[in-house]
Structure 1
Amino acid sequence: RGLIICACGSTGRLDDSAILLTRFVKDDIFDFVLTFSGVSTMDPVVVPALNRFVENVYVYDLQIWDALEESFGEDRHALNQSPVFLSFAEMKTNGDKVRQRIVHTRVLAYSNLKDGRPWGLDIYRCLNAGCNAPAYNMIFHPHGKQYYGKQWLQTKIKYECLQCGIVHKAIQCPPWIHAGRSQNFGRVWYEWPLSAEQKRDIGIIC
């Protein structure tokens, strides 16, 4: 049982909307809810990956998160166009061998420094408290030693803010951002919505 919403913007982007969509899964109405959390979504770009996701779930019987990484995670163009919001349930067996239904809500995104999306976060803001400019007013670059393969998230970044002029260097990837599968360079995921502390890590003042 799944719900797919081919919309963007506030649908998977705003905290209140994400929480409401997650309720569908927590209340066992659906086993998963998938939508998009970018500013815009172009159907011709995302539909092929969406078709593969549905096929992976219902034909090949993959686990729901694995199905997402095997579809959108393998399609750089689709993921670069819009991050994907997925709330899903999975069954886990605890130490007493009792099966429990666990709900996760995550966003799968593509890290693109040139487009102002460090670690897939177009909501990133200038860390200068007196500025707080949005990511589209900042220029991002890798900083220092660059890592590849499974360790690529260890690469630090720097940015120049076009609004306040500050240059911030040696910024480490926040610990709550996780790399996708090893062959998926640039793919990241994180629990969604972000907590107040996580938002502060990326310059968002709550």
Structure 2
Amino acid sequence: RGIVISSCGSTGRNSESIGRLKRLVEMDIFDFVFSFAGVSTVDPLVVPALSRFVENVFVYDMGLWAALERSFGEDKHALNTTPVMLSFAEYRKGPDNTRDRVVHTRVLAYSNFKDARPWGFDIYRCSNPTCGARAHDMIFHADGKQYYGNKWMQTKMKTTCMKCNQTRRKIATPPWINSCSIENMGRCWYTWPLTLAQRIDLGITD
């Protein structure tokens, strides 16, 4: 039992909206809720990956998160267009052979420094408290040695704000950002929505 919400914008980005979608899974109405978490989508790019996700779940009986990684996670063009959100339930073995139903809500994203989306975030901000410029007014580069393959998250980042000219160097990937199990460079995931501390890591103070 699942629902795919094909709209973008605030549906998978607004904390209140995300909470409502998550409750549909927590209340056991659905086993999963899928939504796009970007500002916009390009249908010809995302539809093939979405079709593979549905096929992985209902035809090949894959686990929900594995099905997402094996569809959007393996389609760079689709994931580079928009991050995707999945709220899903899984069962864990409890004491006395009981099964505990656990709900996760995550975003799968593609990290793209060139397009001002480090770790998939277009919400990144300048950390200068008197500036707070948004990601599209910043320049992002790899800083120092650039790693590839399943070690790509070890690459440090350099940011330059085009509004206040602040430059920061050797920025490490926050520990709450996870690499995907598939060995595809740039794919990462994190629990959604972000906590206040995580938002501060991205320069967001409001």
Do 2:69 and 2:182's aligned partners in 1 also have CA atoms closer than 8 Å? no
Amino acid at match of 1:21: L
Do 1:141 and 1:157's aligned partners in 2 also have CA atoms closer than 8 Å? yes
Mark the runs of 5 or more structure 2 residues left unpaired by the alignment: none
Task: State the 1:96 CA deviation.
Answer: 3.9
Do 2:123 and 2:135's aligned partners in 1 also have CA atoms closer than 8 Å? yes
> For residue 13 of structure 1, what is the aligned residue in structure 2?
13
> For residue 76 of structure 2, what is the aligned residue in structure 1?
76
Task: State the 1:152 CA deviation.
Answer: 1.1
> For residue 162 of structure 2, what is the aligned residue in structure 1?
162
Number of residue pairs matched by the alignment = 206
> For residue 106 of structure 1, what is the aligned residue in structure 2?
106
Summarize the alignment of residues 136-155 of structure 1 with structure 2, pairs less than 5 Å apart: 136-155=136-155
Amino acid at match of 1:147: Y
Do 1:149 and 1:182's aligned partners in 2 also have CA atoms closer than 8 Å? no
Once residues 203 and 162 of structure 1 are traced to their aligned partners in structure 2, the CA distance between those partners, rounded to angstroms, is: 15
Once residues 149 and 23 of structure 2 are traced to their aligned partners in structure 1, the CA distance between those partners, rounded to angstroms, is: 36
> For residue 44 of structure 2, what is the aligned residue in structure 1?
44
| 1:64 matches 2:64 | yes
| 1:124 matches 2:124 | yes
Amino acid at match of 1:197: A
> For residue 30 of structure 1, what is the aligned residue in structure 2?
30
Task: State the 1:182 CA deviation.
Answer: 4.1
4+ residue runs of structure 1 moved beyond 2 angstroms?
A: 94-97
| 1:92 matches 2:117 | no
TM-score (norm 1): 0.98
Secondary structure (helix, strand or coil) at the match of 1:169 reads strand
| 1:181 matches 2:184 | no
Amino acid at match of 1:127: S
Secondary structure (helix, strand or coil) at the match of 2:91 reads strand
Distance 1:96 1:198, change over 3 A: farther
Task: State the 1:110 CA deviation.
Answer: 0.3
Once residues 182 and 55 of structure 1 are traced to their aligned partners in structure 2, the CA distance between those partners, rounded to angstroms, is: 18
% identical equivalent positions: 59
